[in-house]
Amino acid sequence: MYKKFLLLMCIVSLSTIKAQDISYGLIFGVNFYNDQSSSGGPNDVFFDSGNDNFIVPNFGAYFEYGFNKNMGANLEMSFNKKSFVKGYANVSLNETYVFNFIDINPNFKYDFGDTYRHGFYMLIGPKIAFLTKAEFEGNDVKSDFESVNLGIDLGVGQRFLKFLEIECKVDYGLTPFFKQEGSKSSKLFGVYLNLNLDIERLVNNNSK
Q: Any idea what the CATH number is for the domain that residue 134 is in? A: 2.40.160.20
19 pLDDT higher than 50: no
Exposure of 190 in the CB half-sphere (CA atoms within 13 A): 27
| pLDDT (0 to 100) of residue 8 | 43
15 pLDDT higher than 60: no
**Among 194, 197, 196, residue whose Cα is nearest residue 31:** 194
52 pLDDT higher than 70: no
Domain contains 31: yes
Domain contains 64: yes
More confident residue, 178 or 131: 131
The pTM is what?
0.80
**Burial class (CB within 10 angstroms; exposed 0-12, middle 13-18, buried 19+) of 104:** middle
Distance CA 65, CA 164 (A): 16
State the DSSP string of 122-190. Answer: EEEEEEEEEEEEEEETTEE-GGGB-SEEEEEEEEEEEEETTTEEEEEEEEEE-S-SB--TTS----EEE
Q: Is 105 helix (H, G, I), strand (E, B) or coil?
A: strand
Domain contains 3: no
Domain contains 4: no
Domain contains 190: yes
Phi and psi of 177, rounded to 5°?
-100, -10
Q: How many domains does the chain have?
A: 1
Q: Which structural domain, as residue segments, surrounds residue 42?
A: 23-207
Domain contains 171: yes
Domain contains 6: no
Domain contains 110: yes
